[in-house]
Amino acid sequence: MTEPTAPPPAPTPAAATPPAPPASAPTAAAAAVIEPPAPSLPAAAPPTASEDRYRYGSVQDVSLFTRFLWFCAGADAQLLVRCPNSDRVKFQGLGGVVLTVGVLAFFSGSYAFYTVFSPKDATALGERVLHLPSAAASVFFGMVWSLIIFNIDRFIISSTGKGDGTDKITWGEFVNSLPRLAMAIIIGLCLSKPLEIKILESEIESALEKEQKEFLAELNDVSEGLVGKERAALRDKIDGLQKRTDDNDGALEKRRLEIQQQRRELELEAEGKTGSGAAGRGPAWRDKRDNLDRMEAELNRDREAIGKKNTMVGDELAEAKTALAALDSKLATEKASNLQVARHLDGLMKRIQVSHDIGGMIPIAIMLLLLCIEAGPIFFKLMVIKGAYDYLDENQKRVVRAKAGIEPDARILSDGKGKSIHIDLHHGVTAVLDEEKRRLDTERAMAAAVHEAWKKKTGAAIEQNPNAFVKR
């Protein structure tokens, strides 16, 4: 049944022109001005049944930011401008999610890199100054990280299928989306950790300050214990060396007193106050004098040997006392090093650990929020009902394949095991192959004709003069 067409548009009335005055009209009548009626505008033609009443515009009519959001969603702007507003808004929302993830990745990555690169010159609650080289490096690497996440996320969203065109997610669709969901979950986890430690920064720094002080006290106790052992060992060594020196000096002093006593006895013997009581220098006196000379000689010899030993012991004693005095500066150096070690208990991993210890459900909530932002578009695309853009996109793909001479699923064969084999036909390749075959056939026929003509010509020449072709 033929569809009735809309009635043709009404003809446009022509503008009325004033009639020319007759030649015999009076002069006053000829001078009178006759006002023509105002021309009426042409009536708009009613739209036909096949005419689209929606004014779509062109790509240039769409704002630059909207086109950027479409780019983030991996959509074709030339197709979207031919779609209703619902499809445009849908892809704007998907692009907005991808852009949001990229922005969050920039801030998350920059903060994480600054936490890693910044110098640890103060405790968690100590006064810190922005380190410009670390900040510049963190912004650069944060931008690189953001672009990586943005590109991966855009690929995940654009490569996710549209499901079966309904708002239901079938088991097969869910299984097919598992690799993309796994990537989205990994990205969400990587983004959530730096953000959660920034959100809980005050609480984390308070806990870190306490842990750093406790860790510093432990390190100082260990250092003091080690230095205390060294100090005790040096003091024992000093005491031992001092005792050796005192013993040597005591032995010399004892020998000196013995000699002094022997000299006193020698004097008494000469005065006759000991022994036989006879004064003078008799045999008893000479014996005591010989014994005194021997004792003095031995004392002088021993004094020289003991003096050398005391000198060596004195050197060791001076070194030990110097080392003992240096222990205080060594302990101060150890404590300064311990302070630096305690300040370095402020890395990214430690902050994440502290946030898990003190955060309770907050880190989990932040992580789930980022996971929803990251994995939500995948589920949305599986739930979205097939719209105008999907049909236009499929049509465009078919047109491109048709213009390229590609016929998908042109033949469907069975492998004998219940599975079908789909064969695509590439007509452009077939046409080129056929043309190449015809060219080769033509060249083959022409070569055969040339050989045949040469054969006839040469045969005639042989018949006319066979001797010319005989080699003598």
pLDDT in tens, 376-385: 888 877 777 7
Maximum Cα–Cα distance across the chain: 207
With b for 16 or more beta-carbon neighbours within 10 A and e for fewer, the 153-190 pattern comes to bbebbeebebbeeeeeeeeebeeebeebbebbeebbeb
pTM for this entry: 0.58
Contacts of 30 (CB under 8 A, 6+ apart): 21
pLDDT at 279 (0 to 100): 60
pLDDT of 170-182, one tens digit each? 787 778 778 888 8
Q: What is the pLDDT of residue 69?
A: 93
Residue-level pLDDT at 172:
78
Determine the pLDDT at residue 55: 66
The pLDDT score that the predictor gives to residue 280 is: 58
* Residue in the structure block whose two tokens are 């008893």: 284
Q: Which residues of the chain have pLDDT under 50?
A: 1-36, 38-39, 41, 44, 47, 49-51
Each residue of 126-152: pLDDT tens digit?
566 677 888 899 999 999 999 999 998
Domain ranges (residues) in the chain: 59-206+348-388, 212-343, 404-441
**Would you put residue 46 in left (φ > 0), alpha (ψ -120 to 50) or beta?**
beta
Do you know the residue count of the chain?
Answer: 472
**pLDDT value for 2:** 38
